[in-house]
Chain A
Amino acid sequence: MLKITDLELLVGSVAHLAAINASFQPGTLTTILGRTGAGKTTLMRAIAGLIAPDRGQILLDGTGWTRLPPWKRPVAMVTQQFINYPHLNVRDNVAFPLVRAGVAKADAAARAEAALARVGLAAMVDRRPSALSGGQQQRVAIARALVKKAPVLLLDEPFVNLDYNLREAFRKDLVDLLAVETGTVVLYASTDPREALQMGDQIVLLADGRIVQSGSPRDVFANPASLTAASVVNDPPINPIPFHQNGVADFGALGQQAITLPSGAYTLGLRASDIRAGGPHQARVTLTEVTGSETLTHLSLNGLDLVMQEKSVVLRSPGDVVGVHLDLHKGLVFGADGQRAGV
C-alpha cells in the first residue's frame, strides 16, 4: 500500500501541495483529477522523488520513501511529453531499466519485446523513437514503464498530447493492460472528469494543491462535497447560481425548489446538462462551442453567465435569444463556505 501523510510542498510562500493524506491499494487505479495547476504533476513528482516535499511522508508498505533518491524508488512513470531515449532503438529503450537493474541483456531484450508486443509495437523494435508517430512513442514509454513491474506506476496525463480518437482508443487499451497488474498501485492524473469516470476504481479530487474529495467515481460525481469539488468533477464546470434565502427557499424568476435551509447566502450548482433549450426563460447567447458531437452554448440570463450542454450540434450566433429550461430540482445547493448544504 502506498500511503501519503501530511505532505506539503511550498514554492516560495505558495503551497503547491498542502495537507495531502491518502492511501492507495495495490491493484487499484486511482485517478487524480484536477484542473491545470491543481498540483497533480507536483504530487506525482513528489512520489517519484523528483521534487522534495517540505513536510510529510510517503510510505510504501510501511517503508519510508521520503529520503530515497528517485533512482532508488521502485516507481515507473509516464509523463505528458513522450520521453524516450533518442540514441537507443525501441527494444533497447524498453530494456533499459531492466539492464540497469542487472537483468542479463538477452533476457532484458526478450522481456522488452514481450512488453512491446503487449502495446502493439512488436514490428517496430529496431526503429529509433524519432521514426515513430507520437502515439507510438507514447506506447514505447508505456511499455518501458510496464516492463519494470514497479509496485507504483504513475501516469501523468499520458494521452493529453494525443488527438481525440487516439486518446479514446489508448484509454481502453491501457485499462486492459493494467487489468493484469494486480500488485501495482496505479495513479492516473487527468483533467478530464469523463476519463476519471471511465477508468478509475477510485478518484481523488485535487484543487489548489489540496485533496478536496475522494471516493468512488460515481459517488463523487453524484455527491460532490463542495462547490470546488463539483467544479472539478464536472466538465464543463458546474454553473454556480448565487441566491439569498430569507426563511423559505426563494428562487425568484428561476423557478421553485423546496429545500429547508436556514437564512443566508447560497449557491445553486447546476450542471450544464441540466439546462435545456425550449423553456420559458429567455437567455442571450454569448458564445457557441461545438466539441465533437456536443454543443456548449454560453448564455446570459438575468445577469448570470451559464453554460448549456446539448448532445447534438446546434449552431447559434452570439446575440441570439433562446428559451431555456433549468432543471433546478437536479441542482446542488452549497453554503457560503462552499460546502454542500441541505443534504
Chain B
Amino acid sequence: MKTLYLALKYLAIALWSAFVVFPFLWALTTSFKSANGVTGGATWIPWVQYEPSLQGWQSLFGGVGGINVVKPFYNSLVVTLSASVISITLGTLAAYALSRFTFRFLWMRNSDITFFFISQRIMPPIVLAIPFFLMLRSLGLLDSLPGLILVYVALLMPIAVWVMVDFFNGVPRGLDEMAWMDGCNPIITFWRVILPNALPGLVVAGMFCIIFGWNDFFFAFTLTFTETQLLPVAIVSLNSSVTPWWSLSAAALVSIAPLVVLAFVVERFLSKGGLAGAVR
C-alpha cells in the first residue's frame, strides 16, 4: 500500500514536472534550430531530427538581423536591482513603522494607510503611463536609467510595504519588548532582532520586486526610446515580418536565466517556520 502510494506520488510529481519543464525544453531546442528546423515539425534530437544551428544565439549578440542583448541586459539589471533595493529599503522601514506604531492621518489609521499604499497598484498601468511620461519629461529623465528607477520604485514600493507589513505583524511584539529590556533602542531592535526574523518576508518582497521589475514591458516601452532600452523591449524588437522563433527562444532563455538562478539562491530562505520558538 505504501509502495503504491509512493509510486502514485512520484508519478504525479513527474507529470507535473514534465508539464512545467516542457516549455523551457521546447525553447531550448528551438533556440538551436534554423528556419528549416522550426518548420520541420516537432523535432527533439539534434543531428538526427534536425541540424543544430547557432543562428538564434548569434542574433542576440550582434549577429545578422539581430540585436545585441548585452546592453539591454545590463540596463534591465541596473534598473531592476536599484529599484528593488530602494523599494525594499524604504518599504521595509515604512512597513515596520506601520506595524509597530499608531498613525493617524485625517480619517486614516494604520490599516487604511497600508491599503492606501497598495491601492496605487489597483490602477491600470495605462492610467499611470501619461503622468509618468510628463513628469519624467519635465525632469529631463525620459529615456534614462534614473528615470526608470524612479518610476519602478513608485511601482514596487507598495508591494514591499504590503508584504512586509504582514510579515512584521507576524513577528510578536513581545520580541521588541524583550529586546528593549535587553538594552536595544528601537532602531537596534529593528536591525538586530526584528529584521533577521522577518527575513523570509524580505526575500518574498524582494522576489516580487525583482520579478515585476525584470519582466515589466509596458513602462520600459513607454518611457524609453533607444538609449536605455530594457531587455523585454529589446526582445520584442527582434520580431519582424517573419517571426524568428530561434532568436526569440534564445532571448526568452536569456531573460529567464537570472530569475531561475535567483529562485535557486533564495529558495532556502523561503522555508516556513522562521519564527518558531519566538513566543510559545
Residues of A bordering B, CB below 8 Å: 48-50, 69-71, 73, 75-77, 79, 81-87, 96-97, 100-101, 128-132, 134, 137, 144, 148, 161
Contacts and interface: CB of A to CB of B under 8 A. Distances in A.
Contact of B180 (A71, A82, A128, A132): A71
A71 B185 contact: yes
Interface bin, chain B: 20 to 34
B279 A82 contact: yes
Contacts of A85: 175, 178-179, 193, 197, 278
Contact of B277 (A69, A128, A144): A128
Given A100-B183, A129-B278, A161-B280, 12 more contacts: A69-B180, A71-B180, A71-B181, A71-B182, A83-B279, A85-B175, A85-B178, A85-B193, A85-B278, A86-B276, A97-B182, A130-B276
Interface of B: 172, 174-175, 177-185, 188, 193, 196-197, 199, 273-280
B198 to A, nearest CB: 10
A71 B183 contact: yes
A11 to B, nearest CB: 15
A37 B6 CA distance: 53
Among B174, B184, B188, B280, chain A packs the most CB atoms within 10 A around the CB of B280
A96 B196 CA distance: 14
A83 B183 contact: no
Contact of B172 (A83, A96, A148): A83
Contacts of B278: 83-86, 129
A48 B181 CA distance: 7
Contact of A50 (B175, B180, B193, B197): B180
A134 B174 CA distance: 16
Among B172, B174, B180, B193, chain A packs the most CB atoms within 10 A around the CB of B180
B277 A86 contact: yes
B190 to A, nearest CB: 13
Closest 4 CB pairs of A and B: A130-B277, A129-B277, A130-B276, A100-B183
Given A70-B177, A83-B172, A100 B182 contact: yes
A70 B180 contact: yes
Given A86-B275, A100-B188, A137 B182 contact: no
Contacts of A73: 181
A132 B277 contact: yes
Given A101-B183, A130-B276, A137-B277, A83 B178 contact: yes
Nearest to B175: A83
A273 B194 CA distance: 50
Given A79-B174, A81-B174, A83-B174, A131 B277 contact: yes
B260 to A, nearest CB: 28
Contacts of B174: 79, 81, 83
A76 B181 contact: yes
Nearest to B185: A71
22 contacts: A48-B181, A50-B180, A71-B180, A71-B181, A71-B182, A71-B184, A76-B181, A77-B178, A81-B174, A82-B279, A83-B279, A85-B179, A86-B275, A86-B276, A86-B278, A87-B197, A100-B183, A100-B188, A101-B183, A132-B277, A137-B277, A144-B182
A5 B279 CA distance: 33
Given A100-B188, A137-B280, A70 B193 contact: no
Nearest to B188: A100
Nearest to B182: A97
Contacts of B197: 85-87
Contacts of B177: 48, 50, 70
B279 A81 contact: yes
A248 B269 CA distance: 79
B277 A84 contact: yes
B204 to A, nearest CB: 17
Contacts of B276: 86, 130
A86 B181 contact: no
Among A49, A84, A144, A148, chain B packs the most CB atoms within 10 A around the CB of A84
A76 B183 CA distance: 10
A131 B174 CA distance: 20
Contacts of A70: 177, 180-181
A161 to B, nearest CB: 7
A100 B273 contact: no
B167 to A, nearest CB: 13
A182 to B, nearest CB: 22
Among B174, B193, B277, chain A packs the most CB atoms within 10 A around the CB of B277
